[in-house]
Amino acid sequence: MLVARVIVAFYGTIRAGFNSYTGDNVVLNDITLGKIKQSLNKNKILVVGDVMLDRYWFGDVSRISPEAPVPIAKIDKTDDRPGGAANVARNIASLNGNVTLLSVVGNDEPAITLKEILAKDKVEAILKSDNTIRTIVKLRVLARNQQLIRLDFEENPSHEILSEVLGVYTEIIDNYDTVILSDYGKGGLSHAAKMIEIAKAHNKRILIDPKGNDYSKYQHATLITPNKSEFRDAVGIWQNEAEFKQKAIDLKNKLNLDYLLVTRSDEGMSLFNSHLQSDYPTVAHEVYDVSGAGDTVIATLGLMLANEIPIEEAVMLANIAAGIVVAKVGTATLNLDELVHQLKLLGYKMD
């Protein structure tokens, strides 16, 4: 049944001065464990970005169509799940975080469905309706947990509605400790640079899941989290670890970031700050689906940082969280009980 084998990073090793290993493992301290056990909703988080509705049609295939050489899927179950920035917000809420989602949708049935699911999942949603577009929908057809096809329905929001979103963002930002921009390249973050400027002016932490090859719009953010493919699009290819490190350092300095976190698939994760490279080597896991794993990473990071958990420990927790959700089919979340259970398996006393 398992359809993929991916690598999930759990533990951290620190390279001091970007050169030598210290050999120290990242360990969660008692203060961090206490916050996880007690409450993670002390400070509010604002998520802004591209939202979509992920639709799943599950069925079985037993024959080929007589009309064309394609399989016939007999659908017996359907499921709707928030995707994109909505999945980021949903992941925060499922970990008992206090989160608000700000975005744009169409005036249609998928928008209604999104709002209903988000309300059920305790996500406060400020969704501006754009009558000129349809809500983004990704429809996946699966048989025996194998994806047969994905159909995308999407349109960019209007400039007028994006200006409204920026206005709301400016009005409410003082109510939040941390801001997350979830960029799926669908046009919802056309004002990303201005949003970063406003966040920094209000002394807010701002994290970004980037898209595209022009990262100049993300200048002065607290942290960005490109995966290996996205990082390559932004900086070009590298031949060895030394070149990778130099490109990461150069990008971090060029954008004036506090941190750069690159998720590197089978090579783990690498976190760069002003004087350290923290590497999180990989642990292999058999998984069902990697879709939405990046949402879980930045959601967990944002939630932990909003609760004043040190960055190295926040990255470790984000990796653990991602390792849980990739074992589930489709866009998924984890709850606090699942995180605590995994920490117990790693030897932490959580009772």
What are the catalytic residues?
Answer: 295
The arrangement of strands across the sheet holding 51-64 comes to 71-84, 51-64, 137-143, 146-153
Q: Provide the 8-state DSSP code for 227.
A: B
Are β-strands 20-25 and 44-49 bridged in parallel, bridged antiparallel, or unpaired? Answer: unpaired
Which residues is 101 bridged to in the sheet? 47, 125
* Structure-block tokens of residue 237: 């290819």
**Please, what is the angle between helix 30-38 and helix 336-345, to 10°?**
150
Return the closest-CA partner of residue 121 out of 98, 90, 97: 90
Residue type, 150: R
CA 343 to the chain's CA centroid: 21
Question: How many Cα atoms within 13 Å fall on the side-chain side of residue 349?
Answer: 3
Residue with the two structure tokens 């960019």: 156
Nearest partner of 113 among 81, 87, 144, 155, judged by Cα: 81
For residue 56, the surrounding DSSP H or E stretch is: strand 51-64
C-alpha distances out from residue 281 to 7, 148, 252, 268, Å: 9, 32, 21, 5
**For tokens 């997350």, what's the residue?**
180
Q: Residue 49 phi/psi, 5° resolution?
A: 155, -160
How many residues belong to the chain?
351
Smallest Cα–Cα separation from 291: which of 333, 320, 263, 319?
333
